[in-house]
């Protein structure tokens, strides 16, 4: 990705931020970068070893319910969520189907439409990714002092009133069982 691509993304999102929001974003970026690489990229290594592309991985996570919705998807809807072309997403879905991680099914309301659903093997892969990420987060959390952990808990807890974050948290809590 080129710097011009980043600029185009920012312009497309029409970002208008205050200096305070920019500082919060900078701190959050530093934390997330640290967290993402804390476990030496184990989650990325599993994705890489699977042979999945980033588009395939994102689609699989979405199909697994870790994104905006659950259930079955039309390829065009997946493409719209990730800002990719329909042909690109269709190729990604084809690869997931070949690997047995997703399947194409007939739409119950319109037999001409094919939808994409995650398979049991796909769900297992998503659960593995979630478990690896959680293990990395637990390892990081164990390095925090009790005071740091309390402050982090208060900050994160204050975000749980956002429906999108609360839903993801509840979903992830359910994968622990």
CATH number assigned to the domain comprising residue 49: 1.10.10.10
Sequence-ordered strand ranges (E) for 16-156: 102-106, 114-118
Does residue 10 fall inside a structural domain? no
Report if pTM > 0.75: yes
Does residue 106 fall inside a structural domain? yes
Does residue 107 fall inside a structural domain? yes
Exposed e or buried b per residue across 97-136, where buried means at least 16 C-beta atoms within 10 angstroms of its C-beta: eebebbbeeeeeeeeeeebbebbeebbebbeebbebbeeb
**Total domains present in the chain:** 1
Does residue 24 fall inside a structural domain? yes
Structural domain harbouring 41: 19-143
- Three-state DSSP class for 132? helix
Find out whether 60 and 125 touch, Cβ atoms under 8 Å: yes
Q: State yes or no: pLDDT of 70 exceeds 70.
A: no
What is the pLDDT averaged over residues 34-42? 83
Does residue 9 fall inside a structural domain? no
Does residue 163 fall inside a structural domain? no
Does residue 175 fall inside a structural domain? no
At 92-133, the pLDDT tens digits run: 999 999 999 999 998 888 888 889 999 999 999 999 998 998
Does residue 85 fall inside a structural domain? yes
């Amino acid at each position: 990705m080129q710097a011009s691509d980043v600029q185009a993304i920012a312009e497309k999102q029409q970002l208008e931020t205050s200096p305070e929001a920019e500082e919060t974003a900078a701190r959050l970026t530093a934390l997330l970068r640290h967290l993402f690489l804390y476990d030496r990229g184990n989650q990325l290594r599993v994705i890489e070893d699977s042979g999945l592309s980033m588009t395939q991985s994102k689609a699989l996570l979405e199909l697994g319910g870790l994104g905006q919705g659950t259930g079955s998807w039309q390829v065009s809807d997946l493409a719209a969520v990730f800002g990719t072309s329909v042909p690109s997403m269709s190729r990604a879905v084809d690869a997931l189907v070949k690997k047995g991680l997703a399947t194409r099914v007939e739409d119950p309301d319109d037999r001409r439409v094919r939808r994409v659903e995650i398979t049991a093997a796909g769900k297992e892969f998503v659960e593995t990714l979630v478990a690896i990420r959680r293990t990395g987060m637990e390892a990081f959390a164990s390095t925090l002092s009790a005071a740091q952990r309390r402050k982090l808990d208060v900050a994160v807890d204050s975000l749980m009133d956002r429906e999108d974050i609360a839903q993801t948290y509840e979903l992830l809590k359910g994968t622990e069982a």
